[in-house]
Structure 1
Amino acid sequence: MIQQKKAIVLGGTNPHIELIKQLQKRNYYVILVDYLENPPAKKYADVHIQESTMDQETVLKIAAENKVDLVISACVDQANITACYVAEKLGLTKPYTYDLAHKITNKGYMKKIMVKEGIPTTKYVYLEQNQNIENLELRYPVIVKPADACAASGVKKANDIKELSVYFEEAKNVSRTKSVIVEEFFTGIEVSAYCFVENGNARVVMISQRMSVIEGEKKVLKCYATVTPPNISKKAYEKIEVVADKIAKAFGLDNTALHVQFLINGDDIDVIEFAPRVGGGISYYTILQKTGFDIIGATIDSYEEKKVKLYLSDDGCFYSVNLIYGLPGIFDHLTGVDELINEGVIEGVFYHKTKGMEIGSDRASAGRVAAFLVKGITKEEMYKKIKTAIDRIDVIDIDGNCIMRKDLFLGNLDETSAIQ
């Protein structure tokens, strides 16, 4: 009988449900580490330990006590640092060094290398805790973001020095190192390029256009949908492939997933940021449906230091991931989704919240309840299915109230993610 291996999965997010399932198929006993009491992936793991994925020493202790064979995170930046830290301490396999994982999650370091290597990116200033924000020599409006935070936490658009002063303090408080990036605002379509680095060469697997809005008094940036393929020029697409490869070579990446965010204006492109990991949300599932490439399985191979052979196809269809947001409350359940799946209107629904979790409004991730995927032979069919789904799905709170944000969805085929 083959002895069962042990793996720690860092983070109980929805994509890690698929990660856990695939690890179990590979004969791993899976220990999930997540600070939440009931994260979406909890019920799929063999055991859940309620600790922070960013507490490196605690995760190291858990790994050592359980004599694990693997510590992995597929799509959480800060958890990737912990995974590589623990792997190095215990002599386990990993996709890249702890030093590289730590450096790349700092947007100041990332920007510095990109500028040095001629990778197109917006003009920026890197500010540490006590630096002066006056006279930055940047053109307003500017984007303010923590240098080392996850996702869109603390990211704001400032139109003048007064707003910059407020958002700088907010971003600094989100940052672990109290450091902030301020960069010039670049108007355009935002896209995510999902890549894999094979034999030192980055290849684009899929590109999606992100639809976003900035709303509320706190000016929270919310992505409400993605569309694949994006409405960009052939030249822009070619530039994305070239730049993704330059990033892989500039940062010494190989045999790893690579997620790069771009702003596109005509044929011009600018890199927002990147991470050597799988994209968030249900991009892994969209990639599998669209191209046939299993990027979660490839990530496990990457962590096990097994060479990945890239295989791609294109089914020619249009896909849209649609985020379901709720008004503030306590989540109970969704209605309408099972029928929509059975009727072929949606391909599947993926939960960000479990029953009893709070729905907030102070940041984008706090308001996300779930996401559903729509597939169409044409854009028109895709849009029609989205409208049908939005009309029939609802978010129900613990008191039986309907609290879905029906106003936040892909309303027409001409929308772009240029933030106004």
Structure 2
Amino acid sequence: MELKGKRLLYIGGSASINDIAYYTKSHGIKLLVAGKFISQDIRSLTDEQYIIDVCDRECLRKLLVERAVDGILVIGNEDIITSVIDVAESIGLDFYVKRDQWNELQDKKNFKKNCIKYGIPIVETYELTSDFDSDQIPQSVYPVILKPADSCGSKGISICNSGDELKQAIQKAKLYSRTNRFLCEKYMDCPEITIKYLFDRGNIYVWEINDRFVNREQKNVGAIADCTIYPSKHVKLYFETMHPKMIKMLKDFNFYNGTMFIQAFVDGEVIRPYDPGIRFSGGLSYFITKHVFDVNPLELMINTSLVGRMCLGDENLIERISVDMNGRFLANYSILAKRGTIAEIEGLDRVAKMPEVFRMLQLLHVGDEVKMIGTLQQVFARFHIEAKSREELNRVMNEVYNTIQLKGIDGENMKLCQKISIL
């Protein structure tokens, strides 16, 4: 199917722009970009640039119509996706997620409601009113986690050990919620997994299940992923217990094209999903899939944005992907930065020469300030690693951590303490 001459509007950050630009250029696709700010790096890699507020529906609608956009690719921000859904539906432009799907399965409260409907276990939830009274939750229940019902990137999340902390957390969560709504759940301290799906013309594929390890060194804020490990130890448990019910739910919501991920706790022999994302996750793990199977879900999403199908030739590339990673062991490992301004970085050149590190993506640079604690803004760099075993992955990640040095403007160590054991 022909892509040449198609016009793709990209809305998102710079982490994926090189890969997007390479694919669009090699297929003769015109790459447009829009946003309030467009960096010089993005400008140099795109054909047309438009400085607009993409959450302004009328501005976005005008751009799509006047510039004859054939498809839209969004990575990240859920406020932007919400805007794009409204505008795309108003002008009849295909987008990978529809309004009813977004409202029912992206919103954390509605997602939990639908999980219950389909018999999928959830994390224990406590109903609170916005004018919280300490009697609503017994002291024996704490700690609890309080989060916005409709936010992403770990923003607005708090871990609470008392009623006073919960009152403050409610106000914080409402700041990051588009609808001033929040969710209060039992605090879970158990293994986590992420399950990722691709939808191609109504067919549903699981393209990844990883073990997710989070950083809990920071108190009273949301946990951030230190690393994800492939394959997960819990693949068999997922397919035996959660998969049939999840596929039934996704089919009933008529997902046709697109992608989705679900983060879940592994509570003994019970998998409890807690966070949905009808988008690419912040970890950008399609790099892993490309490395192992030579199949890039990012490219597949570009295809479906423009022509309504992921695979352009006769071969169904998605069927190359296996959640067991063909017996290989891989990690998507992040080094996290503390609050402050980065003044000095050391060790990246040495890490790049490690034979196990096959890709490195630096997100923070000298002069960047880290402000939002407990969010993905703390990710300094991601390192994609392959080793012969989980034990070897564990050793390499610790070597990477010890090699990288981050210093603040007063010479302080800006690396967040990361005690990782994936064994």
Normalised by the size of structure 2, how large is the TM-score? 0.85
Supply the distance in 2 between the matched residues of 1:395 and 1:261 (Cα, whole angstroms).
Answer: 30
**8 Å Cα contact 2:201-2:309 kept in structure 1:** no
Equivalent position of 1:176 in the other structure? 178
TM-score after normalising by structure 1? 0.85
Aligned-partner Cα distance in 2 for 1:173–1:13 = 26
Aligned-partner Cα distance in 1 for 2:419–2:182: 31
- Label 1:369 to 1:91 Cα distance change in 2 as closer, same or farther (>3 A): same
Equivalent residues in 2 for 1:111-126 (5 A)?
A: 111-125=112-126
Larger mean CA deviation between 137-146 and 205-214 belongs to 137-146
Deviations along 1:130-188, whole A, 9 cap, x unmatched?
Answer: 67675268943322110111121112222332222111111011111101111223342
CA contact (8 A) 1:236 1:264 kept: no
Checking the alignment, whether the CA contact within 8 Å between 2:197 and 2:205 is kept in structure 1 is yes
CA contact (8 A) 1:12 1:39 kept: no
Q: Is structure 2 residue 354 aligned with structure 1 residue 328? A: no
Q: How many residues align?
A: 412
AA partner of residue 258 (structure 1): M
CA RMSD, 1 decimal: 3.2
Residue pair 2:35, 2:50 contacting (<8 A) in 1 also: yes
In structure 2, what is the equivalent of residue 19 of structure 1?
A: 20
Residue 162 of structure 2: aligned partner:
160
Unaligned runs of 5+ in 1: 415-420
1:38-187 correspondence runs (5 A): 38=39, 41=42, 43-125=44-126, 134-135=135-136, 139-187=141-189
1:222 is the counterpart of 2:224? yes
SS in 2 for 1:315: helix
Which structure 2 residue ranges, 5 or more long, are not aligned? none
Q: Does 1:405 align with 2:415?
A: yes
2:158 and 2:209 map into 1 onto residues whose CA distance is 24
Give the whole-Å Cα distance in 2 for the aligned partners of 1:168 and 1:283. 32
**Alignment-derived partner of residue 30 in structure 1:** 31
* Alpha carbons 2:120, 2:246 under 8 Å: kept: no
Matched-pair contact (CA < 8 Å) for 1:172–1:178: yes
Following superposition of structure 1 onto structure 2, how do residues 310-389 of structure 1 map, counting pairs within 5 Å? 310-311=318-319, 312-313=321-322, 314-331=325-342, 334-353=345-364, 356-389=367-400
Aligned residues of 1:128 and 1:180 also touching (Cα < 8 A) = no
CA 1:187/1:126 → structure 2, altered by over 3 Å: closer, same or farther?
same
CA distance in 2, matches of 1:159, 1:287: 40
Q: Contact 2:85–2:99 at 8 Å: present in 1 too?
A: yes
> Residue deviations 1:104-138, cap 9 Å, x none?
33222222222222222123256675676752689
Deviation, structure 1 residue 227: 1.3
Distance 1:127 1:65 in 2: 46
